[in-house]
């Protein structure tokens, strides 16, 4: 036997041994044909009677054939409560026309104007098929859809991944296309149009849509027997309707900053490009696990954000754990974020303006605790309780007159409660 053929045999045997000894993740150790079911109910509630939500979720995952996995996630959510309409609080009561144009609601003096007609429910489905090309490469196909009474979304994506370096390194790249069909209650308001009283013919633009294309490239690397890290870069380009059709801006008196009684519908750019760098690391101590993530985000609306997330899984016993969680988030304002407009600007409006708090500068902190327990026979239960607090600048430098008596960025506190149960069927 020649040297080269004996080397080939040795290499083949080594490869076979490695394959046999390869330890598959326990999470995918479900026998072919069985279905792992993850179910959860999320309860989300904001302070001051703002948004409340209940969201049941079920995710089914099965191995169709060796290393080919199909997962389907179904989500339903029901929202109630009230959402800020963009107008500014004042020392006088303010009346607004509801989005349908047929009713109205009044906000008492010194209270944040909230649209109390806010109701919504959503059904969403996401399916993913992981299909191996060979032992080291795989294709991942994804399809998701979401349906609301005023918003429908369809998204399709493809990701390719390849393992390298004895599977210590995985590289991946992917792209997706998303189409959003937007049909606001009463029609999309004309940008910067004045909100008219019920009964008057509000100028509307009808239905709108948006197209989004996303790209991602990432690498995950096993650093040692107990540490794995991942780094992703994503870019997203969206074109089409980006306004929130239910958000307005107050038109204030130039000297007193009191409401003139006129409100304009917002106007945002019709495209947006986002760049995101995302890094995550998991490290196993003797018993416990720490999971850290950081995200840098910037877009061409002028928003830059930093997100840091830390979870520490403390093993109480072989079957139960406690997991404290802390998340910090900080964002700058969009270039066109305005807490209000002045009456004198009505004749020479800026290119874009929105008073949506989510486009303002703010910090957010979430602190939570999760408890998880194995119940035997591949059944798991967990529950988490978290508190999220958002705070922005309540007195920006350009505030004047009545604005000095009002909180121009009220804090938001929300409770997040979740119960999860998973099993094999």
Partner 1 sequence: MTKLYFSGLFILLLFITSGCEMQPVKPWERGTLAKPSMQLTPDEVENALDEHIYFSKEASTGGQGIGGGGCGCN
The size of the interface with partner 1 (CB under 8 A), counted in residues, is: 111
Residue 249 lies near partner 1 (rule: CB under 8 A): no
Residues 216/174, Cβ–Cβ less than 8 Å:
yes
Q: Which stretch binds partner 1 (CB under 8 A): 3-11, 104-112, 262-270, 381-389?
A: 381-389
Longest Cα–Cα distance in the chain: 98
- Least spacing, CB of residue 301 vs partner 1, in Å: 8
Select 105 or 275, whichever has its Cβ closest to partner 1.
275
DSSP annotation of 86: S
Select 152 or 260, whichever has its Cβ closest to partner 1.
152
The beta-carbon contacts of 376-383 under 8 Å, at least 24 apart in sequence, are 377/423, 377/424, 378/30, 378/36, 378/423, 378/424, 379/421, 379/422, 379/423, 379/424, 380/420, 380/421, 380/422, 380/423, 381/419, 381/420, 381/421, 382/418, 382/419, 382/420, 383/417, 383/418, 383/419, 383/420
Select 94 or 138, whichever has its Cβ closest to partner 1.
138
- Least spacing, CB of residue 413 vs partner 1, in Å: 12
Interface residues for partner 1 in 119-138 (CB under 8 A)?
A: 120, 122, 124, 126
**Which x/- pattern, by CB under 8 A, does the window 138-177 give for partner 1?**
----x-x-x-x-xx-xxxxx-x-----xxxx-----xxxx
**Which x/- pattern, by CB under 8 A, does the window 331-370 give for partner 1?**
x--x-----------------------xx---xx------
Interface residues for partner 1 in 38-97 (CB under 8 A)?
A: 38-40, 42, 44, 55, 57, 59, 73, 75, 77, 79
Residue 30 lies near partner 1 (rule: CB under 8 A): no
Residue 226 lies near partner 1 (rule: CB under 8 A): yes
Q: Which stretch binds partner 1 (CB under 8 A): 88-96, 339-347, 383-391, 403-411?
A: 383-391
How many Cα atoms sit within 13 Å of 414 on the Cβ side? Answer: 19
Structure tokens at 303: 């928003």
Q: Which stretch binds partner 1 (CB under 8 A): 93-101, 106-114, 195-203, 232-240?
A: 232-240
> Phi first, then psi: what are they for 287, rounded to 5°?
-120, -35
Select 73 or 117, whichever has its Cβ closest to partner 1.
73
Select 126 or 342, whichever has its Cβ closest to partner 1.
126
- Least spacing, CB of residue 28 vs partner 1, in Å: 9
Residue 299 lies near partner 1 (rule: CB under 8 A): yes
Residue 214 lies near partner 1 (rule: CB under 8 A): yes
Please state, in angstroms and rounded to a whole number, the distance separating the CA atoms of residues 113 and 90: 9
Select 217 or 258, whichever has its Cβ closest to partner 1.
217
Select 42 or 346, whichever has its Cβ closest to partner 1.
42
Select 122 or 373, whichever has its Cβ closest to partner 1.
122
- Compute how many other C-beta atoms are within 10 angstroms of the C-beta atom of residue 223: 11
Interface residues for partner 1 in 311-330 (CB under 8 A)?
A: 313, 321, 328-330
Single out the residue of 115, 130, 180, 266 in contact with partner 1 (rule: CB under 8 A).
180
- Least spacing, CB of residue 128 vs partner 1, in Å: 10
Select 297 or 423, whichever has its Cβ closest to partner 1.
297
Structure tokens at 399: 């505030």
Residue 139 region by backbone torsions, left for phi larger than 0, else alpha for psi between -120 and 50, else beta: beta
Structure tokens at 136: 């080291």
Residue 385 lies near partner 1 (rule: CB under 8 A): no
The beta-carbon contacts of 294-302 under 8 Å, at least 24 apart in sequence, are 297/331, 298/274, 299/272, 299/273, 299/274, 299/275, 300/272, 300/273, 301/268, 301/269, 301/272, 301/334, 301/335, 301/336, 301/359, 302/332, 302/333, 302/334, 302/335, 302/336
Residues 152/180, Cβ–Cβ less than 8 Å:
yes
- Closest by Cα among 187, 113, 80, 107 to 356: 113
Interface residues for partner 1 in 4-23 (CB under 8 A)?
A: 18-19, 21-23
Residues 305/281, Cβ–Cβ less than 8 Å:
no
Beta strand ranges found along 241-378 (DSSP E): 248-252, 259-265, 271-284, 289-299, 304-315, 320-331, 341-342, 362-376
Single out the residue of 70, 129, 292, 342 in contact with partner 1 (rule: CB under 8 A).
292
Single out the residue of 278, 314, 336, 423 in contact with partner 1 (rule: CB under 8 A).
278
């Amino acid at each position: 036997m020649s040297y080269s053929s004996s080397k080939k045999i040795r290499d083949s045997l080594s490869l076979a041994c490695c394959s046999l000894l390869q330890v598959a993740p326990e999470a995918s150790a479900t026998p072919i044909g069985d279905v792992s079911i993850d179910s959860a109910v999320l309860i989300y509630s904001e302070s001051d009677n703002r948004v409340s939500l209940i969201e049941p979720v079920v995710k089914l995952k099965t191995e169709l054939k060796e290393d080919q996995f199909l997962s389907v996630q179904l989500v339903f959510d029901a929202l109630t409560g009230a959402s800020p309409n963009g107008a500014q609080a004042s020392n006088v009561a303010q009346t607004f026309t509801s989005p349908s144009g047929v009713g109205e609601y009044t906000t008492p003096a010194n209270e944040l104007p909230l649209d109390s007609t806010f109701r919504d429910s959503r059904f969403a489905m996401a399916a993913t098929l992981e299909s191996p090309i060979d032992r080291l490469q795989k294709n991942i196909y994804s399809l998701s859809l979401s349906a609301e009474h005023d918003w429908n979304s369809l998204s399709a994506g493809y990701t390719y991944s390849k393992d390298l370096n004895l599977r210590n390194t995985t590289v991946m790249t992917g792209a997706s296309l998303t189409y959003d069909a937007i049909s606001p209650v009463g029609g999309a308001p004309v940008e910067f149009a004045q909100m008219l009283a019920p009964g008057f013919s509000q100028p509307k633009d009808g239905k709108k849509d948006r197209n989004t294309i996303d790209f991602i490239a990432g690498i995950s690397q096993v650093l040692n027997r107990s540490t794995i890290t991942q780094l992703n870069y994503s870019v997203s380009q969206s074109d089409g309707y980006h306004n929130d059709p239910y958000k307005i801006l107050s038109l204030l008196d130039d000297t007193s900053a009191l409401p003139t009684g006129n409100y304009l519908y917002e106007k945002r750019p019709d495209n947006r490009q986002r760049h995101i760098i995302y890094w995550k690391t998991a490290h196993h101590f003797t018993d416990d696990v720490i999971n850290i993530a950081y995200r840098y985000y910037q877009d061409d609306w002028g928003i830059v954000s930093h997100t840091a997330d830390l979870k520490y899984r403390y093993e109480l016993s072989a079957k139960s754990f406690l997991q404290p969680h802390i998340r910090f988030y900080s964002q700058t304002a969009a270039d066109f974020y305005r807490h209000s407009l002045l009456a004198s600007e009505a004749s020479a409006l800026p290119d874009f303006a929105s008073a949506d708090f989510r486009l303002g500068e703010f910090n957010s902190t979430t602190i939570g605790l999760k408890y998880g327990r194995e119940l035997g026979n591949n059944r798991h239960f967990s529950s988490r309780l978290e508190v999220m607090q958002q705070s922005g600048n309540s007195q920006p430098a350009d505030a004047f007159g009545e604005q000095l008596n009002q909180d121009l960025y009220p804090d938001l506190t929300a409770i997040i409660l979740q119960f999860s149960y998973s099993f094999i069927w």
